[in-house]
Structure 1
Amino acid sequence: MLIKRRHFLQVGSLATASLMLPKFLKAFEKPAMVPAGNKVVVVVQFSGGNDGLNTVIPITNDIYYKERPKLGITKTNAVQLTDEVGLNPALAGFQELFNDGSLGILNNVGYPNPDRSHFRSMDIWQTASNSNEYVSTGWIGRYLDAQCKGCDKPTQALEIDDILSLALKGNNTNGLAFKDPRRLYSTSNEKYFKDLSADHHTGEETVDYLYKTMSETLSSADYIFQQSKVHPTAETYPATALGKDLKTIASLIMSDINTKVYYVSLGSFDTHVNQENQQKRLFTELNDAVKAFTSDLKKNNLFEDVLMMTFSEFGRRVTQNASGGTDHGTANNMFFISGGLKQKGILNAMPDLADLNEGDLKHTVDFKNVYATVLNKWLGADDSLILGTKNRYLDFL
């Protein structure tokens, strides 16, 4: 059956190249396979701009308590890591990771000329661009471009979400987004999609490309689902969104799927009001899910080969606002969790609250140095090619 372009787009809704799978964004034009290796990265995005000062707390800093008379977390309530540093009370499980040497905390991470817009700053972090550059590809997407030439399966980077983030979009190769392997598989095997995929001779380049994309996605859906069943985790995970997402990731890590990067989000951390309760809720979800995930990896002897890293598009201002919250700021902290860290604990100096830039923290570490370190030291990739510049490597890997 020959389907004309107009009818194809009408009945298939492929004008956006969304693969016709509900809430599922397309991945690639070209098939691919990351070179053999055993290292995996799990990126956890704190969407909305997490308040780093009430995450990693300077529990002996008088300026902190002066600027946050109601919002500051006391030394008694904080989860104490050292004599001077504590964690948000909801992150008790991170203290265990800190004590066993599998947690690294990097402070004052940001970039020059920071932007306080959620959308713009997130774009900068996801593309690894300078604040005056506008880039249409993400740092993970460009990693796929560099590593996945001539590969056979387009599943090297997976986002556990309904929509693919800019971070995973490359020039030639994209990551793949889905929430649940079984649902993706069931949807892709509906007779309508199978029949439509079989009728692929249109003679029109645009529609042929869309057919090809759909065909590869149907194949990937089957591959992901089959791999997710190879070694389904027996660990009990919390019945939260992040708990379910990390359980899916754990099951895939335990299979022989070729995925090198997993990407997941938690939020919103945009705490202009009612910050204490919002952070408590989100950090409880994070704490419990990460505790199950790391326990799972340890039991299966995979913890040394998996690196979890967190980031947020910016931090918050040092001074609390009048609504029980904090407003958009700049530099922030990052967590690194793995059994394979070479440097652990508090990796650098805490924020200098006596030396601010118009009320905001000054960054001392460019986030692109973090990306370069992960790409080069963990994933074995050419970070200069991917990031477009030569960056300094850090010592935590």
Structure 2
Amino acid sequence: MTSRRDFLKTSALASTLLFVPRFLHKLDAQSLPALQDAGGRRLVVVQLGGGNDGLNTIVPFRNDLYYKARPTLALREQSGLLLLDKDLALNPNMTALKGLYDQGQLTVLNSVGYPNPDRSHFRSMDIWHTGSAADEYLATGWLGRYLDAACAGCTTGHTGIEVDDTLSLAMKGAHKKGLALKNPQKLREVTRNRVLRAASQEPAATGLGELDYLYKTLAETASSADYLYEKSKVYQSKQPYPNTDFAKSLRTTAELINSGLDTRVYYASLSGFDTHVRQQEQQGKLLKDLSDGLGAFVQDLQQAGNLDSTLILVFSEFGRRVGQNASNGTDHGTANNVLLLGGKLRQPGVANAAPDLADLDAGDLRYQVDFRSIYASILHDWLGADNQQILSPGVTPLVGLV
């Protein structure tokens, strides 16, 4: 039998595999109340890292103030803007999303943010990941707390999956967390490491402490790796996807969903949106990657009959300043747009008014929708969870959003 000393020698590999937060100690699932079942529904979160410029994504193309603030960076109707409602248009690179919009499968929320916004990438992303206020510091993510509550009795580790090498704070709870993987085959290969495999079969001695938690989580991970590998062979996507890392992560997500996994939450990311210099080309390429990837993903789910039971949330940690900078780019701003996609949207189209460019806060957009109210709607109305237990008590859902 593998000794604990042998296990500790491989702790670096184990920690990389398991992504266990340092603050986790005793696992006490019995202390967590079970919540309502999600009714077969699932959530896919797409994070746009770097602070996507919302004004050149959802463009207020009939607003003179937009063109005054961005004399060379503003997008004009003759450049191929894809017209929406409320005098707004999609970036010309987002033709696939325009098709989804026309089919009633896209909701646009404008001016989403929070009070006293932070312009630091790291702090603002932490706020979005944890669902906290600007002056509140939480060690768990909003989706991790959902897994804590909804999956108290779960014995597997795949109730939440992030298609990446590392696990986001959003997916880490106090007792449960998501599982990070690039694809099921590679995860299975890692967990079949001789020492880790043997360690995963050794029972914890005391049930207390971080080391024992690692043992228990490793056993969970090894079991999930085998399950995911076998299950993923059920469905092989025939839908053509773009040849990008982002699209590959969505393809993996679609194959897992369409294979019949009982996973409730999936997470994927697209980075590179910190466009301080020469924004137009860089952002245009990223938005095309986003749009084409999501278009193929939605089509894949729809063909397999799983789109109506899937909600997709797209967000970035903040928007950009209204005015362009001297480098033909934009600097860190505040409020931004959020996108929802799915087959059963209750408010398809543009859900609220365009940003008010005549009423700025020192050159930044004022938020009109608190992002935590979107989370509350998703938790309560889509996943059937108690949002008051997972988020701050004062956060209320947006009525009729999802």
Q: Which TM-score applies when normalising by structure 2?
A: 0.92
Q: How does 1:120-135 map to 2 (within 5 A)?
A: 120-135=123-138
Asked if 1:12 corresponds to 2:10, the answer is yes
Deviation, 1:277, is 1.1
* Deviation sequence 1:75-114 (CA, Å, 0-9, x none): 1121222472111111011111111111110000000010
On the 8 A contact 1:101/1:345 being kept in 2, the answer is yes
Q: How does 1:138-287 map to 2 (within 5 A)?
A: 138-199=141-202, 205-206=208-209, 207-287=211-291
TM-aligned CA distance change 1:4 to 1:220, over 3 Å: closer
The root-mean-square deviation of aligned C-alpha atoms, in Å, is: 2.2
* Deviation sequence 1:108-139 (CA, Å, 0-9, x none): 00000101111111111110111000000110
Pick the aligned partner of 2:72 from 65, 70, 73.
Answer: 70
On the 8 A contact 2:144/2:176 being kept in 1, the answer is yes
Q: Which residue of 2 aligns with 1:59?
A: 61
On the 8 A contact 1:49/1:312 being kept in 2, the answer is yes
Secondary structure of 1:124 counterpart: helix
On the 8 A contact 2:7/2:195 being kept in 1, the answer is no
Asked if 1:137 corresponds to 2:140, the answer is yes
Secondary structure of 2:77 counterpart: coil
On the 8 A contact 1:110/1:367 being kept in 2, the answer is yes
On the 8 A contact 1:329/1:361 being kept in 2, the answer is yes
More displaced 10-residue stretch of structure 1: 379-388 or 223-232: 223-232
More displaced 10-residue stretch of structure 1: 196-205 or 285-294: 196-205
On the 8 A contact 1:3/1:199 being kept in 2, the answer is no
Q: Distance in 2 between the 1:212 and 1:149 partners?
A: 15
Secondary structure of 2:346 counterpart: coil
Q: Distance in 2 between the 1:309 and 1:152 partners?
A: 27
Pick the aligned partner of 1:377 from 358, 381, 402.
Answer: 381
TM-aligned CA distance change 1:198 to 1:103, over 3 Å: closer
Deviation, 1:204, is 9.1
Pick the aligned partner of 2:19 from 12, 15, 25.
Answer: 25
User: Which residue identity is paired with 2:71?
Assistant: P
Q: How does 1:287-326 map to 2 (within 5 A)?
A: 287-326=291-330
Pick the aligned partner of 2:362 from 344, 354, 358.
Answer: 358
Asked if 1:89 corresponds to 2:66, the answer is no
Q: Which residue of 1 aligns with 2:399?
A: 394
In the alignment of these two chains, the number of paired residues is 391
Q: Distance in 1 between the 2:346 and 2:135 partners?
A: 34
User: Which residue identity is paired with 2:7?
Assistant: F
- Structure 2 stretches lacking a partner, 5+ long: none
Secondary structure of 1:105 counterpart: strand
Q: Distance in 1 between the 2:307 and 2:221 partners?
A: 30
More displaced 10-residue stretch of structure 1: 189-198 or 50-59: 189-198
Q: Distance in 2 between the 1:2 and 1:196 partners?
A: 6
On the 8 A contact 1:181/1:224 being kept in 2, the answer is yes
Deviation, 1:17, is 5.6
Deviation, 1:30, is 7.2
Q: Which residue of 1 aligns with 2:120?
A: 117
Q: Which residue of 1 aligns with 2:331?
A: 327
Q: Which residue of 2 aligns with 1:44?
A: 46
TM-aligned CA distance change 1:2 to 1:316, over 3 Å: closer
User: Which residue identity is paired with 2:145?
Assistant: R
Secondary structure of 1:316 counterpart: coil
Secondary structure of 1:220 counterpart: helix
Q: Distance in 2 between the 1:281 and 1:198 partners?
A: 47
Secondary structure of 1:304 counterpart: coil
Secondary structure of 1:295 counterpart: helix
TM-aligned CA distance change 1:211 to 1:83, over 3 Å: closer
TM-aligned CA distance change 1:365 to 1:201, over 3 Å: closer
Deviation, 1:8, is 3.4
User: Which residue identity is paired with 1:25?
Assistant: F
On the 8 A contact 1:158/1:177 being kept in 2, the answer is yes
On the 8 A contact 1:40/1:261 being kept in 2, the answer is yes
Q: Distance in 2 between the 1:211 and 1:62 partners?
A: 61
User: Which residue identity is paired with 2:47?
Assistant: Q
Deviation, 1:140, is 0.2
On the 8 A contact 2:38/2:384 being kept in 1, the answer is no
Q: Distance in 2 between the 1:347 and 1:2 partners?
A: 57
Deviation, 1:395, is 2.2
TM-aligned CA distance change 1:254 to 1:70, over 3 Å: same
